[in-house]
Structure 1
Amino acid sequence: MVDYDVLIIGAGPIGMACAIEAKKAGLSYVIVEKGALVNSLYNYPVFMTFFSTSQRLEIGDVPFVSINPKPNRNEAVEYYRRVAEKFSLNIHLFERVEKVEKAADGLFDIQTAKRNYRTKYVIVSTGFYDVPVLMNIPGEDLPKVTHYYKDPHLYAFQRVVVVGANNSSIDAALETYRKGAQVTLVIRGKEIGSYVKYWVRPDIENRIKEGEIKVYYESTLRSIEPESVHIDTPEGPVVLENDFVIATTGYTPDFKLLKNLGLELSGDAANCPVYNPETMESSTKGFYLAGVVCGGMDTHKWFIENSRVHAVQIFEHIRSLQS
Structure 2
Amino acid sequence: MRSVGSMQLVLLVALTSTATGLHIPLEVEQPPAIITLTSGPIIALPFDKTITIRCEARGNPPPEYRWTKDSEEFVPPNITTDHTDGTFVLLDKHLVTFQGKYRCYASNKLGTAMTEEIELRVPSVPKFPKEVNVPIVVKEGEPITLECNPPEGVAPRQIYWMTLDLMHIDQDERTVEKDYCCFVAFNKIIIVQKTAMAVMVTNLKHGNESDDGGNSTEAPPARIPSMLLPSGVQTEKVLLMGENLQLECISQGYPTPTMSWIKMGDKLPLRTQFNNFGKLLSISSVDESDSGKYMCKAHNSEGEAVHYIDVIVEGPLCLTNLK
Same fold (TM over 0.5): no
TM-score by length of 2: 0.19
- Considering Cα pairs closer than 8 Å and 6+ residues apart, tell me whether 1 or 2 has the greater RCO: 1
Structure index of larger Rg: 2
Task: Normalising by structure 1, report the TM-score.
Answer: 0.19
Richer in strand (by share): 2
Which structure shows the higher helix fraction? 1
